[in-house]
Amino acid sequence: MISANAVMNGSYDHGEVARSVVIAITASYAALDLAGRVTAARGRVRLAWLGGGAIAMGIGIWEMHFKGMLAFHLPVPVEYHWPTVLASFLVALLASAVALYVSSREKMGPAEALTGSVIMGAGIVGMHYTGMAAMRLPAVTRFSPLLVTCSILLAILFSLLALLMAFDLREETRWSVPRRLGSATLMGAAVSAMHYAGMAAADFIPASPPDLSYAVTITPYANSGVVIATLFLLVAALATSSVDRRARVEVSEQMRQAQEDLARVTRVVAMGELAAAIAHEINQPLTAIVTNGNFSLRRLESGTPNANDLRAAITEIVNDGTRASAVISRIRGLLMKGAPIRTEVDINQIIQDVTNLLRIELSRNRVSLSTELASDLPRVPGDPVQLQQVLINLVMNASEALRTSTDGGREILIRSAKNPDGVLVQVQDSGPGVDPELGDRIFEPFFTTKANGVGMGLSISYSIIESHGGRLRIVPTSTGALFEFTLPTDGAAAS
């Protein structure tokens, strides 16, 4: 039996303890920051961030523990079995990879958070006790079961805390840096508490000299060298992360600008195509106003004006004036420069609006427009004005194609239907159709087969649908041309 007196008295170098806590906080900050990068990335880049992040975070956590062990001084020389030290580092790496993976996923339910924290906690405990097993000193280690249990529970608790914080901080906000700093301090304190509880769980009882094969002494130089290398690595990881974040932000400002410009160009082009229809729409009420005005004047000049006739004529003047002003407001709405909007759109409503807008122009071309609209459509996120423009482009193209057809009816059919991830809209005409040899070239900017065509309508429509997360395509059909586009219910993410 070993007497309690035989336990070696160890002491802590407080400076080293403080430095280990600083490393823990820095590693935690890097971990929280890198979790955000893993979340933001996709495909191979995501894998690269996960790998790089796990290495930086693994080294950080491992170095904190190792530093904590070096902060503990025993009255006997201590060497370290380097293969075991390496094994403890690999365990830290694995725990970090699990932590980054779990906290960067799209969803983290209670089950995932708990499983993740048990795996991560087990990894940290494994790293800590493997690290202690690497110690070579003329003593045997005796563990207090109560304190070991405490350190395990603390590790799991700390992991849960870390995962929740990292998950919560993944999205970039104005408060990201101060919040990350606060969370990192808490996490760093928790890692340190776990480590020092684990150290307190161990007593060293003098024994015969150990087997020193593969053991190395950690000199003060090596100790400081590892700290500097770790901090350098963490700072490099943070700097790379910051550059990546800035680049992403910049690309997404530029993209928004390009989209806004595109939306504006679309409106202007749609305006050009609509010019004739609008002139007609305004001209009609104006002619009616002049006719009714002249009629009223003649009645007044006749000396015996009929009040009922005058009331009817003036009422028509007011109605026609209101109609003309509604047309003007619609044109202003189309021309206004504005950021792309995402609202919950009822696509059937958009189809009806466009049908109403183009009714007169189509009837002038003797084109009959019919609709087959599904009643159970989900709403989809989208910009109503942009979607109107796409439909106007497709219908105007169909109408133009029908102008050349002399035989058979001039018909346009707009259909809406539900599809697995949102809605499907089709515009079909009974015209000559698109030459299959042209293929997808019709979607290229400035491609036109018309003498006075611009060749931008389909290309802009394609971009608009793409920015909504959907697809615009031409479908082979036996009669005329059939264009269709999809709009997903989760299309907001794509914009």
Q: Which residues bind ligand ADP (CB under 6 A)?
A: 393, 397-398, 401, 429, 431, 433-434, 442, 447-450, 453-459, 481
Residue 5 or 452 with smaller CB distance to ligand ADP: 452
Bridging pattern class, strands 472-475 and 422-429: unpaired
Residue 61 or 401 with smaller CB distance to ligand ADP: 401
Nearest distance from C-beta of residue 452 to ligand ADP, angstroms: 8
Which amino acid does the sequence have at 59?
I
Report the residue closest to ligand ADP, judged by CB.
457
Residue 350 or 474 with smaller CB distance to ligand ADP: 474
Q: Give the whole-angstrom CA distance, residue 466 versus residue 460.
A: 10
215 with 79: CB under 8 angstroms? yes
Residue 99 or 367 with smaller CB distance to ligand ADP: 367
Burial grade of 253 (CB within 10 A; 0-12, 13-18, 19 or more): exposed
Residue 80 or 483 with smaller CB distance to ligand ADP: 483
Nearest distance from C-beta of residue 479 to ligand ADP, angstroms: 11
373 with 336: CB under 8 angstroms? no
Could you give phi then psi for residue 376, rounded to 5 degrees?
-105, 35
Residue 143 or 447 with smaller CB distance to ligand ADP: 447
Tokens representing 144 are 């207090």
Residue 142 or 450 with smaller CB distance to ligand ADP: 450
Q: How many CA atoms lie within 13 A of 204 on its CB side?
A: 21
Bridging pattern class, strands 411-419 and 368-373: parallel
Catalogue the long-range contacts made by 235-240 (C-beta closer than 8 Å, 24 or more residues apart): 236/56, 237/30, 237/33, 237/34, 237/52, 237/53, 237/56, 238/29, 238/30, 238/33, 240/52
Nearest distance from C-beta of residue 399 to ligand ADP, angstroms: 8
Nearest distance from C-beta of residue 59 to ligand ADP, angstroms: 55
Could you give the C-alpha distances from 327 to 150, 330, 336, 356, in angstroms and in order?
Answer: 75, 5, 14, 12
Nearest distance from C-beta of residue 397 to ligand ADP, angstroms: 3
Q: Which of 444, 48, 471, 493 is nearest to 252 (CA)?
A: 493
CA angle, corner 489, sides to 483 and 490, nearest 5?
115
Q: What is the DSSP-derived secondary structure letter of residue 414?
A: E
Nearest distance from C-beta of residue 429 to ligand ADP, angstroms: 5
Nearest distance from C-beta of residue 261 to ligand ADP, angstroms: 18
Nearest distance from C-beta of residue 450 to ligand ADP, angstroms: 4
Whose structure tokens read 């019709």? Answer: 442
Nearest distance from C-beta of residue 273 to ligand ADP, angstroms: 8
